[in-house]
Amino acid sequence: MPSIFAYLSSEVDWCEDNFQHSEVIAEYYNTISNVSFFLLLPTLLYLNHQYVQQRPFSAYSLAIMLLLVGTFSTYYHVTLSYVGQMLDELAILWTLALKYVLWFPKCYFPGFIKNRTQFVQLIGVTTVICTLMSFIKPVFNAYLLNCISLHLLYLTFQELKKCSNPRVHRIAAFMVMWWVLAISCWLSDRWFCGFWQRINFCYLHSFWHLLISIALLYCCPLFIYFDVVHEIPSFEPELEYWPSDSWPIALPYLALRKSYKRC
């Protein structure tokens, strides 16, 4: 029986040919494209520094989780080992759990939940159950994780219904566009690998890494905007672009001001 750390012991093998460009890296492009997660992290912290000052625990704990996601995803694609796959999936699961614990607005708590402490307990128990189940059939875990994105989309639409700020709608539209492109690459790599191999273009999973990082670049300012609206009433959140609103390519971020008007 192969060791759970052994190369290629994972039950999932992505479309890219193994050991094509290196003797030690199983999937070369799927590995190097993880650099996007390591670039995303300082970018988010730098751009949203005002929020980081207000909520250092939320920002830095999620940042550490994102660092782990990038590290484990890199290890996974280098080795395609069972341990790599589990670490990659569980890091994403616990990052999303933390994101719910820290950023989920109170007004969407289920009716039987009375306060945030109970909500944290509910998310904790659910995440532990999902963690245990993932050892039974890890491949289903990846689909489950993508379903969580659908719930995040639903939450976004609920918030947009209450908000008339065109900047919020614009950033949400970009987030959805990048997410649709990302998930299309992920699914296409999984389901139509034969086709991509025939045309000698097996890099869609590496495109997924890049595109989901870009989606997160929009998703994070949007969710911290909702967090400030609901949880920090002394501040007026504004979504702005770096380096400037007028540049054709610019990065969204959240600025905090003291004023009256809000969604």
Ligand X SMILES: CCCCCCCC/C=C\CCCCCCCC(=O)N[C@@H](CO)[C@H](O)/C=C/CCCCCCCCCCCCC
Between the alpha carbon of residue 5 and those of residues 2, 12, 140, the distances in Å are 8, 14, 20
With CB under 5 to 8 Å by kind, the binding choice for 101 among ligand X, Ca ion, none is none
Residue 7: CB minimum distance to Ca ion, A: 11
How far from each other are the two terminal CA atoms of the chain, in whole angstroms? 58
- Pairing of the two strands 236-242 and 251-257: antiparallel
Site string for Ca ion, 12-41 (x = CB under 5 A): -xx-x-x-----------------------
DSSP H or E run through 239: strand 236-242
| DSSP codes, 85-138 | HHHHHHHHHHHHHHHHHHH--GGGS-TT--SHHHHHHHHHHHHHHHHHHHTT-H
Q: Which stretch binds Ca ion (CB under 5 A): 9-17, 57-65, 113-121, 132-140?
A: 9-17
Instruction: Please pick, from the candidates 68, 86, 102, 175, the single residue that binds ligand X as defined by CB under 6 A.
Output: 175
- Told to check if 69 binds ligand X by CB under 6 A, we report yes
Give 37 or 119: the residue with its C-beta nearer to ligand X.
37
Which of the residues 35 through 54 are near ligand X (CB under 6 A)?
44-45, 48
Rg of the chain over Cα atoms, rounded to whole angstroms, equals 19
Please report how the helices 116-134 and 138-161 are oriented relative to each other, as an axis angle in degrees rounded to 10.
150
Encoding tokens for residue 98? Answer: 């933390």
- Is 196 known to sit in a ligand binding site? no
Instruction: Please pick, from the candidates 15, 25, 26, 66, the single residue that binds ligand X as defined by CB under 6 A.
Output: 66
- Told to check if 95 binds ligand X by CB under 6 A, we report yes
Whole-angstrom distance, CA of residue 173 vs CA of residue 218: 9
Give 1 or 74: the residue with its C-beta nearer to ligand X.
74
- Is 21 known to sit in a ligand binding site? no
- Told to check if 76 binds ligand X by CB under 6 A, we report yes
- Told to check if 212 binds ligand X by CB under 6 A, we report yes
With CB under 5 to 8 Å by kind, the binding choice for 204 among ligand X, Ca ion, none is none
Whole-angstrom distance, CA of residue 141 vs CA of residue 126: 13
With CB under 5 to 8 Å by kind, the binding choice for 55 among Ca ion, ligand X, none is none
Whole-angstrom distance, CA of residue 30 vs CA of residue 203: 7
Instruction: Please pick, from the candidates 78, 102, 185, 219, the single residue that binds ligand X as defined by CB under 6 A.
Output: 219
- Told to check if 88 binds ligand X by CB under 6 A, we report yes
The conformation of residue 40, written as its DSSP 8-state character, comes to: H
Query: CB of 131 within 8 A of CB of 90?
Result: yes
Residue 143: CB minimum distance to ligand X, A: 8
- Told to check if 62 binds ligand X by CB under 6 A, we report yes
Give 13 or 247: the residue with its C-beta nearer to Ca ion.
13
Whole-angstrom distance, CA of residue 225 vs CA of residue 254: 7
Give 46 or 201: the residue with its C-beta nearer to Ca ion.
201
| Contacting positions for Ca ion (CB under 5 A) | 13-14, 16, 18
Going by the annotation, the residues of the binding site are: 13-14, 16, 18, 27, 77, 205, 209
